[in-house]
Structure 1
Amino acid sequence: MTFLPSTHTDFVIERRFAAAPDAVFQAWADPQARRNWSDCHSEQGSEARFDFRPMGRETHRVVHPDGRAQSIDRVYFDIVADRRIVFGYDIRLDGRPLSVSLVTVEFFASARGTRMVYTEQLAYLDGHEDREQRIRGTQEGLDRLALLLSPSDAAS
């Protein structure tokens, strides 16, 4: 087997919500709210575990229609209510590691609600690379978060 070195990248997405930082933070902290906006594979049947606390773990497993099994395992390193969430996660497909990420989500009060900054640093493993897809998927989840927080307010 040919060894492929890891590659690294990062991206930042900034969003503004017409809701206070505590409401935006709560949408991350509450398991049902989180599932409503972040689960892009809910229609395919999945298994999930959610433990939102420092050093808590989150697990999400799904079997795609083509039979491939995807798993995402997350660890929360730092949580400051209404201000910051720092977590790491890895993605595996059929047991093969694809990527490992470190994510920081920060919430800032603004005159119109909340400015949220999502920063993800990624290490891609063994030739896998899906940066544009990862950015698009994250943006789609944050679009659903905007709708959850304020159905009449479009994501910005």
Structure 2
Amino acid sequence: MRMSARQAEVEPGDGPGVRHDTFTIVRRLDAAPAAVFAAFADSGVRRRWFRLPGSGAVYHHEFRVGGGETAHSTFSVLDSDPERLEYRSRYLDIVPERRIVFGYESIVDDLLRWTSLVTVLLADDAGSTLLTWTEQVAFLVATGDGSADLPHLRGGTTLRLNGLAAALAPDPGPRRRGPA
């Protein structure tokens, strides 16, 4: 099998092997737990906040225990070959309006880079939702020395949760331009 230059940079070899990390992000969302849960469950709403970077994205989502999501896209960066991104998940536990547990794989250019177990807890907090996202990740292939892998994943998750908050925000209606 022929590897791209990018794959050669991250191909596993005699390095340290698998690295495990865990992180937790806690967010207060201005929506009831039922609305937050629906934003995970409803594929139309989910597309407003859960997206792979790049272009040509294709998604399939089945929100049920044993179901999951697959997504593919192509991500281009200046002065670099495009990357083929793939996401595959499987729902392990769903308690409506309270908990979602799923595992997922992140694949770049046909190379499994990391896999994670994610627990999303939703708690009612006076009409809003306290969301706790805990991710246990196994980095199978490091980028360079691996020092940027966890910050990259945590940052991407933070951006995704920012998108969730935006998807839950009430529609402000049409905007007026210029003076009245």
Q: Under a length normalisation based on structure 2, what TM-score does the superposition of the two structures give?
A: 0.79
Q: Return 5+ residue gaps in structure 2 as ranges.
A: 1-11, 172-180
2:77 paired with 1:62: no
CA contact (8 A) 1:10 1:119 kept: yes
Match of residue 48, structure 1, among 51, 59, 83 = 59
Count the aligned residue pairs: 151
* Offset, 1:67: 2.4
Q: Return 5+ residue gaps in structure 1 as ranges.
A: none
Partner of 1:139: 158
* Offset, 1:36: 0.5
SS at match of 1:45: strand
Runs of 4+ in 1 over 6 A off after TM superposition: none
Partner of 1:9: 21
1:6-155 to structure 2, matched below 5 A, reads 6-41=18-53, 44-65=55-76, 66-128=81-143, 129=146, 130-151=149-170
* Offset, 1:143: 1.0
Residue deviations 1:51-73 (CA, integer Å, cap 9, x gap): 11001021011112232211110
Q: Using the aligned pairs only, state the percent identity.
A: 37
SS at match of 2:14: coil
- Aligned residues: CA RMSD: 1.6
Residue deviations 1:76-102 (CA, integer Å, cap 9, x gap): 000111000000001111111100100
- The one-letter code of the counterpart of 2:42 is D
Q: Distance in 2 between matches of 1:91 and 1:39?
A: 13
- The one-letter code of the counterpart of 1:63 is T
Q: Distance in 2 between matches of 1:114 and 1:144?
A: 15
- Range moving further from structure 2, 31-40 or 102-111: 31-40
Rg larger for: 2
Q: Under a length normalisation based on structure 1, what TM-score does the superposition of the two structures give?
A: 0.90
CA contact (8 A) 2:52 2:72 kept: no
Q: Distance in 2 between matches of 1:144 and 1:126?
A: 28
- Larger relative contact order (Cα-Cα within 8 Å, sequence gap ≥ 6): 1
